[in-house]
Structure 1
Amino acid sequence: MSFQRVLVIGYVWPEPTSSAAGGHMMQLLQCFTTQGWHVTFASPARVGEHKADLAALGIAERAIELNDDSFDRFVAELQPDMVLFDRFMMEEQFGWRVEQHCPQAVRVLETCDLQSLRDARQGLLKQRLHASDDENDFSALFAEAPDTLYAHMSDADITQREVAAIFRCDLSLMISPFETQLLTERFGVPASLLHDCPLMVEPPATAALTFEQRAHFVCIGNFRHAPNWDAVLWLKQQVWPRIRKQLPRAQLHVHGAYTPPKATALHNPAQGFLVKGWAVDALQVVGQARVALAPLRFGAGIKGKLLDAMLCGTPSVTTPTGAEGMRTGERWPGRIGHSADELAQAAVELYENADQWQAAHEQCHEHLGAQYATEPHAQALILRLQQLSQSLAQHRRANFTGSMLRHHLHKSTKYFSQWIQSKNQSV
């Protein structure tokens, strides 16, 4: 079977210049359109200020409503061969409607990252901060084993919702090998329901700037993303003062989409801490910096800011959480630290030592070609989808847990959604 019509239901409209999630969605859309498939992107979200021009790529756009049977008429008329849900919330909201009107459509979940893992780590960080006034060393937090993570995740509502959506779909796209392993080994998700699909990029056409041509540090990330805001706060309060003590003339340029007043309030030229807001061209900004800083104390998935650093040949300093899904093994293109002291010292050494910087710079390009090249990952994804469509009945028969969850949860979701619709219409 060859897909002719593909429907993507987005949690938000894609903004590739604002987040890694938006970039990954655009990469998936590119994979589909390259095959000649007719793609429709639908979303109940408001249009953001940095939304991609999908129409220019030949992708149809459709605004849809939550808890409204207008979607039923839309999807019944479209009759897609495949539906991709952007994050589990969209599968919860629209999955039963898709199954009711397009039962033979392949249902795919774009996880982006495991939000339940990110939430669990945020909770662990809050516990750690509540239990200790030490905001320097977080070695114990970064060393949490999968069994410990599972213990914190398993009872949470968001985990049960997210894992249930993974079981209900025919295939879920995973960007982090660690998360795939966590799902299969701790949550019992069959490997047949998961597909490894990281960010897919091509190296820049222009040569990267040299050590001598670069200056200052950079930190970049969407401020609406909680791990990014926490990282900026830790930078401001703990990491950056340690760097400035050794490099009193250095500057840190902080960029991010949707910069809130609480972030701009951190701007302090006297301290070299410059909050510059959204970067029109993230690669240009990161490519001019000598070192990228990403002191993430919690999070999940692949970090787009660290992949951008690799694309620019910019060595980066991050934590084990930041490096976790990045597929580099022990050869990190920069340094990894467990404390504010370690991060600051690593940043200073990379900034001042041309030999260390050059070695990390070269590793950036090695990892790009080996782990993130577009063509092999795009081909593998298309092949997996085509194979799935050819054996869909058998695939679903083997996934009894998914069938059972669809039977029960979709009915409850269906009736709750219909109740909301009826309530809205009576007002």
Structure 2
Amino acid sequence: MEQIQKLLIIGFVWPEPNSSAAGGRMLQLIAQFQQQGFAITFASPAMDSDYMVNLASLNVDKTSITLNCSSFDVFVAALNPAVVLFDRFMMEEQFGWRVAENCPNALRILDTEDLHCLRLARQKAFKAHREFTIADTLKEDVAKREIASILRCDLSLMISEFEMELLKTTFKIDEKLLYYLPFLLEPISVATFEKLPSFQERQNFVFIGNFLHEPNWNAVQYLKETIWPLLRKQLPEAVLNIYGAYPSQKVMQLHQPKEGFHIKGRAIDANEVVQNARVVLAPLRFGAGIKGKLIEAMQCGTPSITTTIGAESMQGNLPWNGFVTDDINEFTKAAVLLYQDEKLWKVAQQNGIAIINQRYSKELFENDFASKIIFLLSNLEQHRLDNFMGSLLQHHTLTSTKYMSRWIEAKNRI
């Protein structure tokens, strides 16, 4: 009888699909590996949350693990997974060397989510009021950590083609270590489309995004201080509803019903909120990766207006689900047009559905991804021989990070 292969996912947090795109992405990966026949254990050092998904309902084992503790060595050796998936590079830093030491034959995969060095470099450039350049990413300390993690892993899953190209050209990463795997979605059928609310049945503008994510908080400030006053002059009765998980007091203080600016907090059902809105506003001024809020807008048949960073790597050669502009006046004009012009709105809606079906339909990726995993499991030794820099970094990590972690563990016992 053939033994079922095991996958260990080491999560930065427990998945919260209703709080962030990252949570939804993780559930998509779990489904893909289950389809490939893997028995999955999800482990994390994070505290439980009220909004985390019930992993048992997905037939996934849940295990709490501890940072800087040899109890993980015992756990991972006993589990003996064929594949280990690190959720963001920070988890590979903490646990990668332990996996390499206790399960040397396990395929190590990094899910990057987005390139942290790119997001942080853009954020710093924005806050310093200067133009961002690709060279800024090279100056980020976090880039050294992130790139080292990518090199140590056997494969890194990339959600953005722009970021893949950045890694290959700026950081000289061998493309054999990178794999493009965007959001894996159900295609939008005619039957699904026909159930969506019509232009006439919808009202108001909406923004939605997790407030623990700095680009979202910045975008809401931008809306409140700059864009919404201009937009309200042209549409005096318009309302903007702001939704998002984990709103802080500073977010709630922006609530101004008299100005049509409503801070709603966490959405009980994000799809319902976006489906009932007529237009999504997403003026993101920095960030990286693929924007879950804009994918969600397309799935809900809701046109959007965003920036070049917001739309980065999302549409390929297809027309956008609305408008893309970095100019405040053009952004405002586009919002008014989309809100009032039903014919234009319907064209934008169809554009979004085409993007989902032609670029994010899971059936476009799942067979090739399964083949990639099988190939790497069968050719792991040669794959690692071809990645000498990764082996070099793994060697030095084992002799440095290992002893730092052992020191912390010993100190914690005192």
Structure 2 counterpart of 1:413? 401
Q: Distance in 2 between matches of 1:230 and 1:249?
A: 25
- Cα deviation for residue 157 of structure 1 reads 1.2
Q: Distance in 2 between matches of 1:421 and 1:253?
A: 47
- Cα deviation for residue 395 of structure 1 reads 0.4
| Corresponding pairs, count | 409
Q: Find out whether 1:182 has 2:166 as its counterpart.
A: yes
Task: Choose the corresponding residue for 2:272, options 264, 284, 305.
Answer: 284
Q: Distance in 2 between matches of 1:155 and 1:3?
A: 44
Range that drifts further, 320-329 or 252-261: 320-329
Structure 2 counterpart of 1:269? 257
Task: Choose the corresponding residue for 2:365, options 377, 386, 389.
Answer: 377
- Cα deviation for residue 2 of structure 1 reads 8.6
Cα 1:364–1:336, aligned 2, differ >3 Å: closer, same or farther?
A: same
Q: Distance in 2 between matches of 1:328 and 1:309?
A: 17
Task: Choose the corresponding residue for 2:301, options 303, 308, 313.
Answer: 313
- Cα deviation for residue 68 of structure 1 reads 0.3
| 1:173-230 residue CA offsets vs partner (Å, 9 max, x unmatched) | 0000000000001100011000010011114636211111110000000000000000
Q: Percent identity?
A: 49
Q: Distance in 2 between matches of 1:73 and 1:399?
A: 28
1:27-426 matches, within 5 Å, as 27-128=28-129, 141=131, 144=132, 148-149=133-134, 151-203=135-187, 205=192, 207-329=195-317, 331-426=319-414
Q: Distance in 2 between matches of 1:198 and 1:220?
A: 20
Q: Residue 255 of structure 2 aligns to a residue in which SS?
A: coil
What amino acid does structure 2 have at the position aligned with 1:180? Answer: M
- Cα deviation for residue 102 of structure 1 reads 0.3
Q: Is 1:122–1:299's contact at 8 Å kept on the other side of the alignment?
A: yes
- Cα deviation for residue 344 of structure 1 reads 1.1
Q: Is 1:42–1:63's contact at 8 Å kept on the other side of the alignment?
A: yes
Q: Is 2:211–2:246's contact at 8 Å kept on the other side of the alignment?
A: yes
What amino acid does structure 1 have at the position aligned with 2:175? Answer: A
Q: Is 1:88–1:162's contact at 8 Å kept on the other side of the alignment?
A: yes
Q: Is 1:176–1:325's contact at 8 Å kept on the other side of the alignment?
A: yes
The answer for unaligned runs of 5 or more in structure 2 is: none
Q: Distance in 1 between matches of 2:315 and 2:342?
A: 25
Q: Residue 365 of structure 2 aligns to a residue in which SS?
A: helix
Q: Distance in 2 between matches of 1:326 and 1:288?
A: 23
| 1:126-151 residue CA offsets vs partner (Å, 9 max, x unmatched) | 111xx7xxxxxxxxx4xx5xxx22x2
Q: Is 1:3–1:81's contact at 8 Å kept on the other side of the alignment?
A: no
- Cα deviation for residue 84 of structure 1 reads 0.2
| 1:209-259 residue CA offsets vs partner (Å, 9 max, x unmatched) | 111111000000000000000000000000111110100000001000011
- Cα deviation for residue 281 of structure 1 reads 1.2
Q: Residue 139 of structure 2 aligns to a residue in which SS?
A: coil
TM-score (norm 1): 0.94
What amino acid does structure 1 have at the position aligned with 2:105? Answer: Q
- Cα deviation for residue 36 of structure 1 reads 2.5
Structure 1: which 4+ aligned runs deviate by more than 2 Å?
A: 203-206, 327-330
CA RMSD of aligned residues (A): 1.3
TM-score (norm 2): 0.97
Q: Is 1:3–1:82's contact at 8 Å kept on the other side of the alignment?
A: no
Q: Distance in 1 between matches of 2:255 and 2:219?
A: 15
What amino acid does structure 1 have at the position aligned with 2:29? Answer: L
Q: Distance in 2 between matches of 1:113 and 1:327?
A: 17
Q: Is 1:333–1:360's contact at 8 Å kept on the other side of the alignment?
A: yes
Range that drifts further, 78-87 or 336-345: 336-345
Q: Is 2:279–2:339's contact at 8 Å kept on the other side of the alignment?
A: yes
Q: Residue 257 of structure 1 aligns to a residue in which SS?
A: coil
What amino acid does structure 2 have at the position aligned with 1:292? Answer: V
Q: Distance in 1 between matches of 2:3 and 2:291?
A: 33
| 1:31-58 residue CA offsets vs partner (Å, 9 max, x unmatched) | 1122221100000011122101110111
| 1:267-324 residue CA offsets vs partner (Å, 9 max, x unmatched) | 1111000010111211110011000011000000000000000001110000000000
- Cα deviation for residue 19 of structure 1 reads 0.6
Q: Distance in 1 between matches of 2:41 and 2:28?
A: 15
Q: Distance in 1 between matches of 2:58 and 2:197?
A: 32
Q: Distance in 2 between matches of 1:3 and 1:109?
A: 22
Q: Distance in 1 between matches of 2:275 and 2:91?
A: 36
What amino acid does structure 2 have at the position aligned with 1:385? Answer: I
Q: Distance in 2 between matches of 1:413 and 1:93?
A: 8
Q: Distance in 2 between matches of 1:189 and 1:336?
A: 30
What amino acid does structure 1 have at the position aligned with 2:23? Answer: G
- Cα deviation for residue 115 of structure 1 reads 0.7
Q: Distance in 2 between matches of 1:247 and 1:2?
A: 63
| 1:334-364 residue CA offsets vs partner (Å, 9 max, x unmatched) | 0011122221111111111111111101111
